[in-house]
């Protein structure tokens, strides 16, 4: 063991991050980072391998061989996602001393909508597709990476309450459901501020991060 000085982050800037499906990240600097979607890119190939597995005798040598192919593809999908997230988080962590992001409960967001035998779920197919997309992004893994990389560099990761970040005007702070005109368009009903909805949310997340930092001293 040896004592080391507390690291000091070389940057003095702060950034807010809004996580999404069509855009993995939207920053408060109006930058957009596309998702990799490694599962979606290999979904057809995986389904084909699994159909071939179903036609084989359970636990036979051919079944085991086919099962190894499926496990290898799953590892390949995970490695692509892991590598991509490492590159993104390293770049963001190096550039900003404070990073603010939503404290999303990914496990709750990706729960099945199928319900029970007595109470059938609604929009099950659409929810299943959304769940796959959420898990394909690797939001939880990305936040974990940002957290320990910020600690390495002496920076901060602020996790803020996601409530109302998409409905609040980042200019006048007016909160209304009608502010979110569409999935991509934000227009404040009070001050008429217009912006991309994800960019507006990223600005609110950054402001919330500053508020938490100020409250904690």
Residues labelled catalytic: 18, 102, 198
Q: What is the 8-class DSSP label of residue 113? A: -
Tell me which residue of 21, 14, 15 sits closest to 197, measured CA to CA: 21
Radius of gyration in angstroms for the set of CA atoms belonging to the chain, rounded to a whole number = 21
* Cβ neighbours for 145, distance < 8 A, ≥ 6 positions apart: 85, 86, 89
Q: Locate tokens 């990305």: which residue? A: 142
Whole-angstrom distance, CA of residue 3 vs CA of residue 5: 7
Would you say the C-alpha torsion 38, 74, 86, 197 has a positive or negative sign?
A: positive
3-class SS string, 144-187: HHHHHHHHHHCCEEEEECCCCCCCECCCCCCECHHHECCCCEEE
């Amino acid at each position: 063991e040896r004592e080391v000085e507390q690291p000091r982050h070389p940057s003095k800037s702060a950034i807010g991050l809004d996580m999404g499906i069509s855009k993995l990240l939207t920053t408060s600097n109006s930058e957009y980072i596309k998702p990799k979607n490694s599962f979606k890119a290999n979904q057809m190939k995986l389904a084909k391998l699994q159909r071939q597995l179903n036609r084989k005798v359970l636990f036979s040598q051919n079944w085991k061989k086919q099962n190894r192919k499926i496990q290898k593809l799953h590892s390949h999908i995970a490695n692509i996602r892991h590598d991509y997230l490492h590159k993104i988080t390293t770049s963001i962590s190096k550039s900003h001393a404070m990073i603010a992001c939503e404290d999303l409960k990914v496990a709750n967001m990706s729960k099945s909508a199928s319900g029970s035998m007595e109470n059938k779920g609604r929009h099950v197919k659409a929810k299943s597709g959304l769940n796959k997309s959420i898990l394909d992004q690797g939001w939880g893994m990305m936040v974990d990476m940002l957290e320990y990389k910020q600690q390495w560099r002496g920076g901060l990761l602020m996790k803020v309450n996601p409530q109302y970040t998409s409905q609040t005007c980042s200019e006048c702070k007016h909160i209304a459901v009608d502010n979110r005109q569409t999935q991509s368009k934000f227009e404040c009903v009070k001050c008429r501020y217009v912006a991309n909805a994800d960019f507006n949310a990223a600005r609110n997340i950054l402001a919330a991060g500053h508020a938490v930092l100020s409250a904690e001293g």
